Amino acid sequence: MELDNSINQRFSVKSFTDKKVGLDAVTQLLGAGGKAPSAGNLQDWRFIVVTDEGKKDEIASACMEQVWIGQAPVLIVVCSDLTNLRRFYEDRAEIYGIEDCSAATENILLKATDMGLNSTWVSAFDEGEVMRVLRTPDSYKVISVIAIGYSEEKLDEKQRHDIKTLTYYNEYGSSTSQSNAFPLVKEENVKAVKEAAKESKGFFEKLKEKFSKVRDELKKEDE
């Protein structure tokens, strides 16, 4: 399957059949994850493959009681080992860990689609509880839980925002380029994007504050 097909055909599912996912398939998925870019090429991702029914159910419970997650034949939990990232990047370590493992997660999702598998990226979970179930070291940060399997769901193509309304050239608000890759964006679309950005600003400020608190706590633990 061509890359464009994998990108266009990938979608999240919330029901899986009983069909098993073989070890060879899982190995291929992990191989794709390991090809992702990472800060300083430190390759901080760590993959925990979960097939035990009891542990899958516990993880599903930790993921805000989303029972369907436990029905997936395989869960791949992607974690960042922050040890080396903290050594080289200090305050930026956690952010880089999230970025690195997110890139690895997307690689796995696209490879799954390429192989005829279905998947869902889950990021809503009680991190401490997932760490307890998987017995991960304190240096680990759980980034994503990927449910992998086969689904009979047939979904229409997901609607996406027109990329022209989300693209600027050289600076924010400039919607044209010398190459004229896109026609001039309609003023009302630009206005809508600006309003959406304004609404989201408060959310990101809260998220930034939360990251700062976590970073301070990690510093205290390292002292």
| Average of per-residue pLDDT across 161-170 | 92
**Mean pLDDT, the chain, integer:** 88
| Cα angle, residue 147 at apex, residues 71 and 27 outer, rounded to 5° | 115
Q: Which two tokens stand for residue 41?
A: 């090429």
Report the 10 Å Cβ neighbour count for 214.
12
CA neighbours within 13 Å on the CB side: how many for 139? 12
Question: Which among 59, 62, 72, 50 is positioned nearest to 120, based on CA atoms?
Answer: 72
DSSP three-state, residue 179: coil
Q: How far apart are CA 19 and CA 105, in angstroms?
A: 22
* CA–CA separation, 121 and 26 (whole Å): 16
Side-chain half-sphere CA neighbours of 207 within 13 A: 6
Cα atoms found within 13 Å of the Cα of residue 41, Cβ hemisphere only? 0
102 half-sphere exposure, CB direction, 13 A CA radius: 8
Q: What global pTM score does this model have?
A: 0.78
Give the distance from CA 150 to its chain's centroid. Answer: 20
CB atoms within 10 A of CB 38: 19
What are 37-46's pLDDT values in tens digits? 999 999 999 9
The pLDDT assigned to 157 comes to 72
Structure tokens at 62: 């930790």
pLDDT at 97 over 90: yes
Residue 88 identity (one-letter amino acid):
F
Distance CA 185, CA 54 (A): 52
Q: How confident is the model at residue 158 (pLDDT cuts 50, 70, 90)?
A: confident
| Alpha-carbon span 71 to 76, nearest angstrom | 13
**Do 190 and 173 contact (CB within 8 A), yes or no?**
yes
Say what percent of the chain tops pLDDT 70. 78
- Whole-number pLDDT of residue 198: 64
The tens digit of pLDDT for each residue in 59-91 reads: 999 999 999 999 999 999 999 999 999 999 999
**At 208, which helix (H) or strand (E)?**
helix 187-222
Confidence check: pLDDT of 149 > 70: yes
